[in-house]
Structure 1
Amino acid sequence: MRNTCIKPSRLWLAWLMGLAVAGPGQGAATEAFADDWTARKCELYQQAVRDAITLQGPEGLRMAFLTSNQEFIDAQCAVRVEICPMTPEEWTLADTLLKMTMN
């Protein structure tokens, strides 16, 4: 049986792979850029969640599913939170978010 929980931290890591690896001597400037870009990606994810829910509508989305997603966003997208889609609408939203964050 497959694990039905979405682990944003794994998706997040895949999304962060687009971030260039710092070379020697780049230090503080690169760290500041990485922090800014990480914060920006979290803002983009938060907007993607809002847009996806607006497009799809809230019907069929359990409060636990929405709360887990919000906990991830509230933690600046930097903690491991299991978001487990259970309803067909939650699976649709999860698929939409995956596509939106990969684009």
Structure 2
Amino acid sequence: MILRSLLCAALIVGLKPELVRASETPTAWQLAKCRFYEETWRDMLTHFGPGALSDGFIDQNERFIAAHCLERIEVCPKSEHDLAVANALTLGTMNGDVGGTFLPFRCD
């Protein structure tokens, strides 16, 4: 019984935030932040052109937006253009009062 309890506790503690958060219903503010992020992302695609960005960077951003920006999807800029867009998205979203912790940019 104790072993089962410890195993269950380890599984619960080990759950990734995106697995827990993916099931929650987005609030109006979460949806608004995601819309702002998506609009800024679309502007960056138009400005830089999709051919200038790495496929992985585009895919990761699209997956983040498709998940209503709730899942912790790792978006890792690999090229100079990816990094320029990540920086522009960071500045653009901060101008829209979207906090830096919202942003998906991380590389492991």
TM-score (norm 2): 0.61
The runs of at least 4 aligned residues of structure 1 exceeding 6 Å deviation read none
Look at both structures and tell me which one has the larger radius of gyration over its CA atoms. Answer: 2
Measured after TM superposition, the shift of residue 58 of structure 1 is 2.1
Aligned residues: 72
**Structure 1 stretches lacking a partner, 5+ long:** 1-33
2:94 maps to what in 1?
A: 102
From 28, 38, 47, give the equivalent of 1:55: 47
From 50, 65, 73, give the equivalent of 1:73: 65
Aligned amino acid, residue 101 of structure 1? T
**Structure 2 stretches lacking a partner, 5+ long:** 1-25, 96-108
CA-based RMSD of the aligned residues comes to: 2.0
Aligned amino acid, residue 40 of structure 1? A
In structure 2, what is the Cα distance between the partners aligned to 1:67 and 1:46? 13
TM-score (norm 1): 0.64
